[in-house]
């Protein structure tokens, strides 16, 4: 994990911290080499001890629930990647947003019909 080229940098840093802790390096040295504070080293060490590798991943954040489900996002991405918008040469943020609105309206209408 610590040598991956496709994982987020934050996850690589956390894996490096855990490996250095396992090798017996002091927290101050780890913090200096990884560019974090000593309390951050302690935090990730505790999370790793409590949850293993899963503890190194970010936890879900609180806040407003997602507006669109995975299927709607996948449908929009497929449309943007494989089609051109009507009357335009390429997608813009506004034309993509309009596509999202159309997909949402269509899904809501289908849900309403199926509930009746």
Same domain, 13 and 40: yes
Q: What band does 116 get if pLDDT is binned at 50, 70 and 90?
A: low
Residues 19 and 49 occupy one common structural domain: yes
Say which residue, 4 or 26, is predicted with more confidence.
26
Closest among 74, 25, 72 to 45, alpha carbons compared: 25
Burial of 65 (0-12, 13-18, 19+ CB in 10 A): exposed
In a domain, residue 78? The reply is yes
The pTM (predicted TM-score) of the whole model is 0.54
Q: Find all residues with CB under 8 Å of 53, minimum gap 6, and list them.
A: 1
Indicate if 49 and 74 belong to the same structural domain.
Answer: no
Are residues 72 and 100 in contact, defined by beta-carbon separation less than 8 angstroms?
yes
Give the domain range for residue 16.
9-56
Q: Same domain, yes or no, for 74 and 51?
A: no
Two tokens at 17?
């911290």
The answer on 43 and 74 residing in a single domain is: no
- Ranking 13-22, 41-50, 51-60, 101-110 by mean pLDDT, the lowest is 101-110
Percentage of the chain with pLDDT > 70? 97
**Residue 41: band (very low, low, confident or very high) from pLDDT cuts 50, 70, 90:** very high
Over residues 52-91, the pLDDT tens digits come to 988 888 877 788 887 777 887 788 888 888 888 888 888 8
* HSE, side-chain direction, 13 A CA sphere, residue 33: 15
């Amino acid at each position: 994990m610590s040598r991956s080229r496709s994982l987020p940098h934050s996850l690589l840093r956390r894996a490096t911290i855990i490996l250095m802790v396992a090798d017996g390096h002091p927290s101050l040295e780890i913090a200096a080499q990884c560019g974090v504070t000593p309390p951050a080293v302690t935090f990730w060490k505790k999370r790793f001890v409590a949850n293993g590798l899963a503890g190194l991943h970010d936890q879900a954040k609180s806040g407003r629930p997602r507006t669109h489900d995975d299927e709607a996002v996948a449908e929009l991405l497929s449309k943007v990647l494989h089609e051109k918008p009507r009357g335009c040469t390429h997608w813009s943020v506004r034309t993509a947003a309009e596509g999202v609105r159309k997909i949402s309206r269509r899904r809501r209408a289908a849900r309403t019909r199926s509930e009746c």
